[in-house]
Amino acid sequence: MKNLFKKMSGSLKLFILIVFIYAIFGIFNQPLIMKSLHTFIKLLKEVIPILVIVFSLMFLTNMLITSKKISDSLSRKLGIKGYFLAIALGILSAGPIYMWYPLLSDLKEKGLNNSLITIFLYNRAVKIPLIPMMIYYFGFNYVFILGCLMIIFSVINGLIVEKLLLTQKI
């Protein structure tokens, strides 16, 4: 039995601990457990439609946008269009951030400027699949203003990083 417990993952151990705690509370205070279960089911009914939308958007994003497409688009010299492209690609990019570092390093060696890299990385925080969930919890006005500010400040930070790195080279 001890050997089986050692082989379990941490998340499974946590789940078993929570079930155990609920069982103990259920023995001593059944109305509290029923109220907790009812609240959980009510919350689950509210969140499931939003989660379906979120996972659908994530699936579509992963299907349509690949790192190769982003690499090809950002490696060209585009001027002001490059800023808009870096914003859009940063928002649309998916996957863990550490997977993008080698690609961005390669693009930097090919001539991508630091400003566009900064804008791309900053805009990875704006995630389209999570917008419905954010709107549900915080409201449309908050999400709209936050998104606009993040995009604006991504460009400002990109320009600041570029200026700082140019002055450092001189």
pLDDT in tens, 100-123: 887 788 778 777 788 889 999 999
Tell me: do 53 and 79 sit in the same domain: no
Which of these three, 60, 75, 94, is where a domain ends?
60
Which of these three, 41, 60, 79, is where a domain ends?
60
Q: Which two tokens stand for residue 48?
A: 């499931």
pLDDT at 61: 65
> How many Å apart are CA 121 and CA 45, to the nearest integer?
34
> How many Å apart are CA 120 and CA 90, to the nearest integer?
4
Greater confidence (151 vs 9) lies with: 151
Identify the domain containing residue 27 by its residue range. 9-60
Does the structure show a pLDDT above 90 at 170?
A: no
pLDDT at 66: 67
Is the residue at 3 inside a domain? no
Q: Name the domain count of the chain.
A: 2
Tell me: do 162 and 105 sit in the same domain: yes
Is the residue at 142 inside a domain? yes
Q: Which two tokens stand for residue 129?
A: 């699949």
DSSP assignment string, 45-111: HHHHHHHHHHHHHHHHHHHH--HHHHHHHHTS--THHHHHHHHHHHHH--S-GGGHHHHHHHHHHTT
Is the residue at 1 inside a domain? no
Tell me: do 47 and 94 sit in the same domain: no
Is the residue at 13 inside a domain? yes
Tell me: do 27 and 72 sit in the same domain: no
Is the residue at 118 inside a domain? yes
Tell me: do 103 and 138 sit in the same domain: yes
Tell me: do 24 and 38 sit in the same domain: yes
Tell me: do 55 and 70 sit in the same domain: no
Greater confidence (70 vs 108) lies with: 108
Tell me: do 91 and 49 sit in the same domain: no
Greater confidence (26 vs 17) lies with: 17
Average pLDDT for residues 33-49, to the nearest whole number? 87
Tell me: do 21 and 101 sit in the same domain: no
Tell me: do 152 and 76 sit in the same domain: yes
Tell me: do 143 and 71 sit in the same domain: yes
Q: Which two tokens stand for residue 130?
A: 């999570």
DSSP assignment string, 93-137: --S-GGGHHHHHHHHHHTT--HHHHHHHHHHTT--GGGHHHHHHH
Tell me: do 53 and 72 sit in the same domain: no
